[in-house]
Structure 1
Amino acid sequence: MGREMNTGHFIAGEWCVAKPDSVIPVENPANCEIIATVPAGGRAEAERALDAASEAAKAWARTPAVERAAYVQKVATLLRERSESFAETIMAEQGKPLTQARGEVAGAAVQLEYHAQWARRIEGDTVASDNAGEHILMLRVPYGVVVGLIPWNYPLTVTARKLAPALVAGNTVVIKPHEVTPLSALRLAALFEEVGLPRGVLNVVTGTGLELGEALVGSSKTNLITLTGSVRAGREVMRRAADHISQVSLELGGKAPFIVCDDADLDYAVERAVFARFRNCGQVCTSNERTYVHHSIFEQFKEKFLARVQSLRVGDPRNDPDVGPKVSRPELEKVEMMVARAVEQGAEVLTGGSRMEGAEFERGYWFQPTVLTNLTPSMDIVRQEVFGPVASLLSFSDFDDALKQANDSDYGLSAYLFTRSYQNVMRAMNELEFGEVYVNRVGPEAINGYHTGYRLSGIGGDDGRYGFETYMRKKTIYLSPN
């Protein structure tokens, strides 16, 4: 797993060792081995972390933005120097294949580098006053204390995605990584300690959402909560945040449609559809969850898609396969139940459909790359986010039908369209009801874009200018000569 690391809470610049009877085991999903233990923090640890962040907030906000950004840039440099070690940590705790783990480390470094560049781009406005000699200024100022709740599917990149803009904007931060994958965030905190970040500016505490997360979100000391996670978690965060009217930014997953028109480059569309479905074992909020293919090319697409899925290599992440394990037993069982429910409702399994077999897969959380067809829009597998290596193939009659089926979802994060038709592209731009629309390409999203969703996919967003502004609020100043 790389370098030796601290596995205690990081609070006020110090590492707090866990009590032996109050720890959470961290499991390697490829083989079920316990690779570390971290503290099972609760209300006391939440309060200590929030107190540390609150005490550091004023001095950090007064620190020039270029100085704040310098810490972030230094950590980006260290992260790149130690990228292989961090990739090993991600493989061990999350099960991401080697190349994909390396990509996550690179993505985290880019997040840090990009947001460090915003130090000289924090801008306000002036407007004309109705009163003689008066000036009206609109400033952008930090919120104060930001709580970042991190998912398990991209534990390092999402941590960087939240803490980098928050710190550069002048906020202090408390990060709660997911209890299944806490090690990446702890290692990142150690890099900030190494570059001399002032005490209390960044704190990382570990524990469950029900105890530690609830305490962080429900505190009056928390000014902004940023979550990437499930709809269930988002609802709970909003409920608790309402007690103190804390600001929230929520990215809650998706059910992305992948539309393939009859004029698309078929081989290219197949390759991209497979990548967008099975990357990170399908555990990506922008994954291709619903593949819609024009009826005239459906059989041809299905044949090519099925062959490509059956060629995917599944195995130990260290051997750099195409698909690794599911992240945990509950996640494996959830996908297994969803496929069983789909079959019960009439779906046909073209390949896969169950756990992997063989000596290599006796331990760990392995599910076969799966393709389902004979689906209807009302089936649970078409309505609910799978978040696993299960592809759903559906057909559409014309572009009106494609748009209708694509928009028929409770989610609204990402959508994909493969076509050569200018008219189809223009209609998709105007009529697809999603925060991101990809035309003839798939993700990942651009760091200078804006990652945002509609409906159950959340409110607020990350990346780019609009994402950076999430971490600043506005203050209006009236300067009168009298």
Structure 2
Amino acid sequence: MFIDGQWRDASGLGVDEVEDPATGRAIATTPQGTRAHAEEALDAARRAQPAWAALPAVERGRAVLALADAVHAETELLARIVVAEQGKPIGQARGEIGATETFLRFAAEWARRIEGEILPSDAPNEEIWIRRLPHGVVAGLTAWNYPSALAGRKLGPALVAGNTFVLKAHEFTPLSGLALAALAERVGLPAGVVNVVTGDGRNVGAALVEGADMTTMTGSTRAGREIYATGAKGIKNLRLELGGKAPFIVMEDADLGRAVEAAVAARFTNCGQICTCNERMYLHEAIADEFLARFVEKAGALSIGPGMDDPDLGPKVSGGEVEKVEAMTLASIKAGAEVLLRGGPLKEGRYEHGHFMAPTVLEVRSNDVPVMKDEVFGPVVAAKRVGSYEEALTLANDSDYGLSAYVWSANLKRVFQAAESLNFGEIYCNRTNGELVQGFHSGWGLSGLGGEDGKWGFDGYLRKKTMYVNWA
């Protein structure tokens, strides 16, 4: 662990094994941190925060920019770490490190954009000043699907805004966070400004939520509920980016070739382990046969293998995740889903010891089967035919999740209808997934609170102080 500028080993502690998803073999161990370690990291961050916040914002920005430069210089090493602990193809891992760098650079650019406001008062000789100030200590809890990018997405704006930071990376993928800590040390960030602790969520994570001034978390809805309950005790400032169940709507006037390509990419990139993935497809009956034929052909042709071979699909992150997705698939087939392409777990030959899955494509007649209601987070997707755009919108909104949605249509009126009618924080029109750093990534419903990216995301790392200044 990295606490107050010092590296801590596992002496006297248990360890968690970090597994290579492609082989099932342990490649590293990290300490099973305790509540005491979390509290020590929070104390270090709290001691460092006043001096860090007192620096001109542009100096904090330069420090984050130096970290971005270090990430760029170590792209290949960092990408290989992601492959080793998370499993994704090396090309996608390099893209993740590029995103990490971009998040840091974008945050650094906001150092000169921390703006307050002056408002007229109702009283004479008086003004109202609204200042934006850091929260203090920010805890970052990250998911295993993008272990480096999610850390950079939170760390950059938190530091530029004047906060100090404690990261708890997921137990499956702690190495990327520790690698960022090593780079933070290399570029000379002051002790206590960046801390990384390892361990489980129920002990280390809960202690961070209880002790930090603000918590930003990306993960499951289940974990989000637990954090919400823990944070409620202290009325904590929380930002939660949780699960998704993105509908992928394709109308009869869509560019079918592009739509199929986008649907395949949006479902199977990172082995379907993205919260914005194409989770359920609603296809106009006029194009459903052709769309599904093309989609199944492309899904069936995707290459599968270890991440360093740079296939289309790497392994899932763990055996438990494979079992969860397969159980959902079998339950959906039992509930009446028709199998158009059957993949599932791979356990022979080169796949024997890893956590590999081949794509499965289903067609359903009901919106109530498990693969249409629950987040899959794997290489399985189902489609349902619809007779109209209105039916597609209604079915798309029939979900407790509200993170991302997709609409494919050449009709501008339908695009505006989506903007008004789809109950999701992020909508992709005539494109595949992949939010941009200047946008705003925000979920509705069970998909979370607050959001990341852009000026709106950066503003969340600041709190407002209002002053009534009277000079009469």
TM-score bin (small chain): over 0.9
Match of 1:426 among 416, 426, 438: 416
Deviates more, 1:444-453 or 1:17-26: 17-26
8 Å contact 2:347–2:353 — kept in the other structure?
no
Specify the SS of the correspondent of 1:381: helix
Q: What one-letter code is carried by the residue in structure 1 that aligns with 2:27?
A: I
Match of 1:85 among 74, 77, 81: 77
Specify the SS of the correspondent of 2:80: helix
Report how far residue 375 of structure 1 moved: 4.1
Alpha-carbon separation, structure 2, partners of 1:307 and 1:234: 37
- Counterparts of 1:137-286 in structure 2 under 5 Å? 137-219=129-211, 222-286=212-276
Alpha-carbon separation, structure 2, partners of 1:134 and 1:268: 59
Match of 1:405 among 377, 395, 398: 395
Report how far residue 21 of structure 1 moved: 4.8
- Counterparts of 1:451-466 in structure 2 under 5 Å? 451-466=441-456
Matched, 1:33 2:25: yes
Report how far residue 81 of structure 1 moved: 1.1
User: Which segments of 5 or more consecutive residues in structure 2 lack a partner in the other structure?
Assistant: none
8 Å contact 1:65–1:170 — kept in the other structure?
yes
Q: What one-letter code is carried by the residue in structure 2 that aligns with 1:323?
A: L
Specify the SS of the correspondent of 2:147: coil
Alpha-carbon separation, structure 2, partners of 1:52 and 1:42: 16
**Per-residue CA shift, 1:411-462, capped at 9, x if unaligned?**
0000101111112111111111110111100221011000001100001000
Q: What one-letter code is carried by the residue in structure 1 that aligns with 2:252?
A: D
- Counterparts of 1:20-99 in structure 2 under 5 Å? 21-99=13-91
8 Å contact 1:375–1:392 — kept in the other structure?
no
Alpha-carbon separation, structure 2, partners of 1:318 and 1:352: 25
Matched, 1:293 2:283: yes
Q: What one-letter code is carried by the residue in structure 2 that aligns with 1:162?
A: K
Specify the SS of the correspondent of 1:78: helix
Match of 2:10 among 18, 31, 48: 18
8 Å contact 2:13–2:33 — kept in the other structure?
no
Alpha-carbon separation, structure 2, partners of 1:300 and 1:347: 19
Q: What one-letter code is carried by the residue in structure 2 that aligns with 1:208?
A: D
Matched, 1:132 2:124: yes
Partner in structure 1 of residue 339 of structure 2: 349
- Counterparts of 1:376-391 in structure 2 under 5 Å? 376-391=366-381
Report how far residue 20 of structure 1 moved: 6.2
Alpha-carbon separation, structure 1, partners of 2:115 and 2:365: 51
**Per-residue CA shift, 1:253-293, capped at 9, x if unaligned?**
20000000001111111111000000000000000001111
Per the alignment, do residues 375 and 39 of structure 1 end up closer, same or farther by CA in structure 2, a change over 3 Å counting?
Answer: farther
Specify the SS of the correspondent of 1:367: strand
Partner in structure 1 of residue 462 of structure 2: 472
8 Å contact 1:351–1:369 — kept in the other structure?
yes
Partner in structure 2 of residue 446 of structure 1: 436
Matched, 1:101 2:121: no
Q: What one-letter code is carried by the residue in structure 2 that aligns with 1:294?
A: H
Specify the SS of the correspondent of 2:223: helix
Q: What one-letter code is carried by the residue in structure 2 that aligns with 1:22?
A: G
Q: What one-letter code is carried by the residue in structure 2 that aligns with 1:32?
A: G
Specify the SS of the correspondent of 1:462: coil
Matched, 1:115 2:107: yes
Alpha-carbon separation, structure 2, partners of 1:359 and 1:477: 69
User: Which segments of 5 or more consecutive residues in structure 1 lack a partner in the other structure?
Assistant: 1-8
Match of 1:364 among 339, 348, 354: 354
Partner in structure 2 of residue 303 of structure 1: 293
Matched, 1:396 2:412: no
Matched, 1:316 2:316: no
Alpha-carbon separation, structure 1, partners of 2:315 and 2:307: 8
8 Å contact 1:450–1:467 — kept in the other structure?
yes
Partner in structure 2 of residue 6 of structure 1: none
Report how far residue 95 of structure 1 moved: 0.3
Specify the SS of the correspondent of 1:416: strand
Report how far residue 352 of structure 1 moved: 2.4
**Per-residue CA shift, 1:326-364, capped at 9, x if unaligned?**
101111110011111111111122212421143110011
Alpha-carbon separation, structure 2, partners of 1:422 and 1:479: 49
8 Å contact 2:280–2:371 — kept in the other structure?
no
Per the alignment, do residues 374 and 481 of structure 1 end up closer, same or farther by CA in structure 2, a change over 3 Å counting?
Answer: closer
Specify the SS of the correspondent of 1:478: strand
Q: What one-letter code is carried by the residue in structure 2 that aligns with 1:429?
A: A
Q: What one-letter code is carried by the residue in structure 2 that aligns with 1:155?
A: P
Per the alignment, do residues 68 and 229 of structure 1 end up closer, same or farther by CA in structure 2, a change over 3 Å counting?
Answer: same
Runs of 4+ in 1 over 3 A off after TM superposition: none
Per the alignment, do residues 473 and 83 of structure 1 end up closer, same or farther by CA in structure 2, a change over 3 Å counting?
Answer: same
When the two structures are superposed, what TM-score results if normalisation uses the length of structure 1?
Answer: 0.97
